[in-house]
């Protein structure tokens, strides 16, 4: 799936904005980019044979992107067309495989147990159903993650962006890990990110401790502060890739 996606200049401004929002800014921006990409795809590229072949080979999309694809009435017709295409391909191959090996009636239980031929057909059917490539939207997502993380790392010493990151919810752990493994990025920029993320993680850890302490016996009446949402925020930070079933972040 191809569209230009985010470029570097808009990413700096978008990052500043996303860093003022809850949860991982990279998750937020990448999710927006993927949603826009889905819409562009459904309106402009649905009839491009190469794209359709990719989706057939992937046997559709992963569960997260499938949920995104059918979020919103406007996407249903496009989704239906794509899924029909995948199922047509599966059924065509399936019928071919079954016809060549089982010309007659269904085999007896004994035949099923001992027949190599039937084991062969089962393996063939499993191969037909199995994706031959990754989810095309996951591939697009990985490319967008790289663009956003590179922009963040590149400007991590920028006083405005650096300060915005320091005040933010930090990166989710999957994106933090990805940022540290990116090739061709200045090591000192990655170390600066580690330093800033460490500060954010230790604040979150303290909030969790405060939450647990206040939940413990005898302190239920004490009012909660920012720590009230700490368990949910910690869960999202650890898991990353925050996408609701309706495609919202
Ligand atoms: Zn993230
Ligand atoms: Zn996917």
Q: Give one DSSP letter per residue of 114-152, joined into a string.
A: H-HHHHHHHHHHHHHHS-SS--HHHHHHHHHHHHHHHHH
Alpha-carbon torsion (103, 84, 47, 134), positive or negative: negative
How far does the centroid of ligand 2 lie from the alpha carbon of residue 60, in Å? 9
The per-residue pLDDT for 27 is 95
Ligand lying nearest the CA atom of residue 238 = 1
Contact between 15 and 148 (Cβ < 8 Å)? yes
How far does the centroid of ligand 2 lie from the alpha carbon of residue 61, in Å? 5
The per-residue pLDDT for 121 is 83
Report the alpha-carbon distance of residue 64 to residue 72 in Å, rounded.
Answer: 15
Residue 127 Cα distances to 43, 57, 198, 218, angstroms? 32, 11, 45, 59
Q: Name the CA radius of gyration of the chain, rounded.
A: 24
38: left (phi over 0), alpha (psi -120 to 50) or beta: alpha
How far does the centroid of ligand 1 lie from the alpha carbon of residue 78, in Å? 28
Pick out the chain residues at pLDDT < 50: 1-4, 244-249
How far does the centroid of ligand 2 lie from the alpha carbon of residue 57, in Å? 13
The per-residue pLDDT for 107 is 60
The per-residue pLDDT for 249 is 43
Report the alpha-carbon distance of residue 225 to residue 205 in Å, rounded.
Answer: 14
Ligand lying nearest the CA atom of residue 172 = 1
Report the alpha-carbon distance of residue 8 to residue 97 in Å, rounded.
Answer: 49
How far does the centroid of ligand 2 lie from the alpha carbon of residue 117, in Å? 35
Ligand lying nearest the CA atom of residue 142 = 2
In the structure, ligand 1 is a single-atom ion and the residues with CB under 5 Å from it are 24, 26-27, 172, 175, 240
Contact between 86 and 55 (Cβ < 8 Å)? yes
The per-residue pLDDT for 2 is 45
The per-residue pLDDT for 70 is 80
How far does the centroid of ligand 1 lie from the alpha carbon of residue 201, in Å? 14
**Entry pTM:** 0.82
Residue 225 Cα distances to 16, 201, 210, angstroms? 26, 18, 9
How far does the centroid of ligand 1 lie from the alpha carbon of residue 46, in Å? 29
The per-residue pLDDT for 5 is 52
Label residue 141 exposed, middle or buried (CB < 10 Å: 0-12, 13-18, 19+). Answer: buried
How far does the centroid of ligand 1 lie from the alpha carbon of residue 150, in Å? 14
3-state secondary structure of 168: coil
How far does the centroid of ligand 1 lie from the alpha carbon of residue 63, in Å? 18
DSSP secondary structure code for residue 21 in this structure: S
How far does the centroid of ligand 2 lie from the alpha carbon of residue 30, in Å? 12
């Amino acid at each position: 799936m191809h569209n230009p996606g985010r470029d570097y200049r808009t990413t700096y401004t978008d990052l500043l904005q996303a860093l003022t929002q809850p949860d991982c800014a990279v998750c937020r921006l990448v999710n927006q980019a993927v949603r826009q990409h889905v819409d562009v795809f459904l309106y402009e590229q649905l009839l491009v044979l190469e794209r359709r072949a990719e989706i057939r080979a992937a046997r559709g999309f992963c569960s997260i992107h499938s949920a995104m694809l059918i979020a919103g009435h406007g996407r249903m017709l496009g989704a239906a067309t794509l899924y029909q295409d995948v199922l047509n391909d599966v059924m065509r191959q399936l019928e071919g495989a079954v016809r060549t090996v089982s010309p007659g009636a269904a085999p007896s239980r004994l035949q099923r147990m001992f027949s190599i031929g039937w084991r062969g057909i089962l393996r063939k059917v499993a191969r037909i159903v199995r994706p031959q490539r990754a989810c095309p939207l996951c591939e697009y997502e990985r490319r967008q993650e790289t663009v956003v993380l590179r922009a963040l790392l590149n400007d991590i010493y920028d006083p405005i962006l650096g300060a915005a990151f320091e005040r933010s919810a930090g990166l989710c752990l999957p994106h933090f890990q990805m940022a540290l493994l990116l090739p061709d990025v200045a090591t000192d920029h990655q170390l600066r990110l580690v330093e800033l993320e460490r500060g954010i993680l230790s604040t979150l850890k303290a909030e969790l401790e405060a939450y647990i302490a206040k939940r413990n016996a005898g302190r239920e009446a004490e009012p909660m502060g920012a720590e009230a949402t700490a368990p949910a925020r910690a869960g999202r930070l650890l898991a990353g890739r925050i996408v609701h079933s309706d495609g919202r972040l």
